[in-house]
Chains A and B, each alone.
Chain A
Amino acid sequence: MNTLLLAQDPTLADFGRDPWWLVLIKIVFAFVFGLLATLLGVWFERRVVGYMQVRPGPNQVGPFGLLQTLADGLKMAFKEDILPKSADKVVYFFAPVISVVCAVTALSVVPFGPMVSIFGHRTPLQVTDVPVAVLVLLACSSLAVYGIVLGGWASGSTYPLLGGLRSSAQMISYEVAMGLSIVAVFMTAGTMSTSGIVAAQGDATRLTIAGVEIPAPGWYAILLLPSFIIFFIATVGETNRAPFDLPEAESELVAGFMTEYSSLKFALFMLSEYVAMVTMSAVTTTLFLGGWRAPWPITLWGDANTGWWPMLWFFGKVLLLVFVFVWLRGTLPRLRYDQFMRFGWKVLLPINLVWILVLAGLRSIEDWQSRDRLLATAVGAGVLLLATLLWPSRKPAPKPTPQEQADSRPYGSFPLPPLDLQVPPSPRTKRVVAEREPANIATGSDSQEV
């Protein structure tokens, strides 16, 4: 039993031993997963956003409106396919295809589960794995830019071109932040293969505090929190989702790169957007959320990480991340382009670099004795704290008084009432008081009459 448990974690040697039909089944499964996730993802997004905006969302076609996306897809297929006169026909056709291919290919290195038995073959629940699997993911996302940029260029009109140019700048910028946050994962896991990274998050280091052995969390979302946050933000930028959906900002660019697209080609772009969202959620799960491994309370049940169960945990985590994507869309307004770029280059990138430096420092003192290690960390933290405390703050210029502000206005400005204006009592009030006073005197003198 013990050996069987140990064999749950697939290693690189477990790949490439499948018969051809098993490979075919796995590939078809990954592809169908992408398509189904899109069908359900669009429905999910519309329902969740609807719930957030206190309206029902699609609820007519099928149970809970589940088949609405299918109906929309069928309708889209029967629409007229418009080819603009000034379009570059070949490139115009290939652009959406590139988008979809890149989005789906990335799913091939995502581990869905541990070793399982399919028709008597023991095989990992993953299409394939390579020593550089995470680089394959990066390559797919960097090639996906071509779909959008070429779509924008080949349409032969202004708004799509602007959308395409924006998107290329945006995706290249955020790819840098994304790649840097993966560096921290590489440093900690010591491997670039996705199954290896999931395995590395599994063997939790055990801390012994006061004689009690506590398994410390192994998820990189906790160990490498800054990397996780930056990676997820970069992911949103990379998939062109709100609040970073600048390439298709409909308030500025009509629909950006897909303005001229219609019918099935538009559907392909739509598909690639949702598949990319699901793929990126799956990648985030794999790199930072422990992949298919069960979260803590479930691990108390011994069989949680064996057999087909892990696929359920995996889908649950992916669903959670997709929900976060939708939540972001329902909550945040779109950033302006310069704010977006400044955020990427001046915030995410420097923080990431400093964090990697700190992480490298922490890792290089790992072999020291625990007292020295504690001392070094404490000294570093203390210096940082002192620097923050004693950092000279610039004194703000004194605010001009209202009189100075009024005096500095140019000649001929709108007339202002005097600043020391005393509101005189209303003349009407004065009259009432004046009339009453003699009346009071009168009552005083005529008191004997009452």
Chain B
Amino acid sequence: MNTSTVLAAAGQVTGGEEVTFWILAPLALIGAIGMVWARNAVHSALFLVLTMLCLGVFYVLQAGPFIGMVQIIVYTGAIMMLFLFVLMLVGRDASDSLIETLRGQRVAAVVLGLGFAGLVGTGLYRALNGVAAVGLEQANAEGNVQGIARLLFTKYVLAFELTSALLITAAIGAMVLAHIERRKEDKMDQVATMKARFRPGNYPGPKPGPGIFATSSSVATPARLPDGRLTDRSTPAILPQRELTAEETTLKGTER
């Protein structure tokens, strides 16, 4: 994996390239198929990661070390990571259900997929028709990174800048939609929180634990204050309060 071998790879297929290809190509296919077939969403994402990694190595094999590394860093490292992040928040047991929620979505998906493939195919055909390839040796003449940089910042600089503007707009839009700005007056700083805590009418101490001085240690039993009164501050609001009867609190004769 260095300049000489990479540039040699551009010309003819070497032994190492062939071995790498035949090891990674089945893995990439397994990843692609597994991504569709896996029931668990996280497994699906992991299969996709496998395919992307294999693709990254393929790019390196094809004398494009820069795009290969960028594929691994950006797609595998950042985008798929965020994807996984969201999937994990959804919950680990969330699996695909096979019930069709939208009627006819499979047929529509197949038709749209075929249509998109046709569109890309014809577009590529029309774009590449009659173009004479100069070969990788010439494209990588001043180095792979330098070659890409030259094209990116001269011929395609407008497209590059437009894409970056689009991405920045999308990022800022997402932030604006998701961001909740609280007014400065609404924010409680530590002093305000402390003052609210000690405001008259608010008991600053901790709530009594369940069952202190009570007849039972159940959380449903209200605690008893030192003067013998019951306090319902110790019981959760959602539980029905339950005080044991005298019969229940008498000794059962088990202590003998």
Contacts and interface: CB of A to CB of B under 8 A. Distances in A.
Do A and B make up one complex? yes
Interface of A: 12-13, 15-17, 88, 91, 128-132, 135-136, 138-139, 142-143, 145-146, 149-150, 153, 156, 161, 164-165, 168-169, 172, 175, 192, 410-414
Given A132-B145, A143-B77, A161-B92, 20 more contacts: A13-B3, A13-B4, A91-B46, A129-B2, A130-B65, A131-B143, A136-B69, A138-B73, A139-B72, A142-B73, A142-B81, A146-B49, A149-B85, A153-B92, A156-B92, A165-B88, A168-B81, A172-B81, A412-B201, A413-B200
A164 B143 CA distance: 39
B230 to A, nearest CB: 26
B76 interface: yes
Contacts of B2: 12, 15-16, 128-131
Interface of B: 1-6, 40, 42-43, 46, 49, 56, 65-66, 69-70, 72-73, 76-78, 81-82, 84-85, 88-89, 92, 143-145, 198-201
A138 B66 CA distance: 12
B69 A169 contact: no
A411 to B, nearest CB: 7
A149 B83 CA distance: 12
Contacts of B143: 131
B76 A142 contact: yes
B129 to A, nearest CB: 33
A132 B76 contact: no
Contact of B65 (A17, A132, A143, A156): A132
B78 A135 contact: no
A142 B74 CA distance: 9
A149 B49 CA distance: 14
Contact of B73 (A12, A139, A146, A150): A139
A175 B4 CA distance: 30
B200 A143 contact: no
Contacts of A16: 1-5
A23 to B, nearest CB: 11
A88 B70 CA distance: 30
A143 B72 contact: yes
| Secondary structure class of chain A's binding surface, majority of residues | helix
A40 B85 CA distance: 35
Contacts, number: 104
18 contacts: A12-B3, A16-B4, A88-B42, A88-B92, A91-B43, A131-B3, A131-B145, A132-B144, A135-B73, A136-B69, A138-B69, A139-B77, A149-B84, A153-B92, A168-B81, A172-B82, A175-B78, A192-B145
Contacts of A168: 81-82, 84-85
A-B residue pairs, 3 tightest by C-beta:
A142-B77, A412-B200, A135-B69
Contact of B72 (A91, A142, A192, A410): A142
B77 A145 contact: yes
Contacts of B85: 149, 165, 168-169
Contact of B199 (A13, A146, A410): A410
Contacts of B81: 142, 145-146, 149, 168, 172
Nearest to B143: A131
Nearest to B84: A149
Contacts of A172: 78, 81-82
A165 B89 contact: yes
Among B3, B5, B201, chain A packs the most CB atoms within 10 A around the CB of: B3
Contacts of B144: 131-132
B73 A153 contact: no
Contacts of A165: 85, 88-89
Contacts of B76: 139, 142-143
B57 to A, nearest CB: 11
A129 B4 CA distance: 11
Contacts of B70: 135
A411 B200 contact: yes
A229 B227 CA distance: 63
